[in-house]
């Protein structure tokens, strides 16, 4: 089980370009029982900059896990997954795909690129919030996350 006695917030990197989905995700985490810090970037290149602490993200915390959309500008979520899987300093970082794609090839490719789970975004906003809350319950209350990663 996750250690909920820690005073440190759980840092989550949300890689999402849709402002409505960002809002719904923030809403779902606002009611969290655990202390979570949600960091948001809007494209794949910014995600890698955040993870590598480059440019505008030089002082970014190392996230405890990543919520990743596949349909992103500049660099797709699958390309981000591939870059994470190839980077020894990032490879154990839990990555959960949260996307609107139901395409079987996206599911297969996500797991081949070492995603830890694949969640499809519901169209209904209330159902979307419920999916995020279930994600939170499993990943932050039940699962044990790896120790904080060090700077690459």
Residue 79 lies in a domain: yes
Question: Domain count of the chain?
Answer: 1
- What average pLDDT score do residues 21-31 get? 88
Decide: 57 and 50 in contact? Cβ < 8 Å.
Answer: yes
Domain residues for the domain of 22 are 10-140
Q: Does the pLDDT of residue 109 top 90, yes or no?
A: yes
Q: How does residue 27 score in pLDDT terms, banded at 50, 70 and 90?
A: confident
How many angstroms separate the CA atoms of 25 and 3, rounded?
Answer: 23
List the single range of 12-16, 53-57, 131-135 with lowest mean pLDDT. 131-135
Residue 148 lies in a domain: no
Residue 1 lies in a domain: no
CATH number for the domain that contains residue 87: 3.40.50.2300
The neighbouring-strand residues paired with 97 are 68, 118
Residue 145 lies in a domain: no
pTM above 0.85, yes or no: yes
Residue 149 lies in a domain: no
Give the tens place of pLDDT for each residue, 43-75. 999 999 999 999 999 999 999 999 999 999 999
Q: How many residues does the chain have?
A: 152
């Amino acid at each position: 089980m996750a250690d909920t006695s820690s005073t440190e917030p759980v840092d989550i990197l949300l890689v999402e370009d849709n402002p409505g989905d960002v809002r719904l995700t923030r809403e779902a985490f606002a009611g969290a029982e655990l202390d979570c810090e949600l960091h948001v970037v809007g494209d794949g290149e910014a995600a890698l900059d955040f993870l590598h602490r480059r440019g505008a993200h030089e002082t970014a915390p190392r996230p405890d896990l990543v919520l990743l959309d596949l349909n992103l500008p500049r660099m797709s979520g699958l390309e981000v997954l591939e870059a994470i899987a190839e980077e020894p300093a990032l490879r154990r970082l839990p990555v959960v795909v949260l996307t609107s794609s139901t395409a079987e090839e996206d599911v297969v490719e996500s797991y081949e690129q070492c995603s830890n789970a694949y969640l499809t975004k519901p169209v209904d906003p209330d159902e979307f919030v419920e999916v995020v809350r279930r994600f939170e319950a499993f990943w932050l209350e039940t699962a044990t996350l790896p120790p904080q990663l060090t700077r690459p």
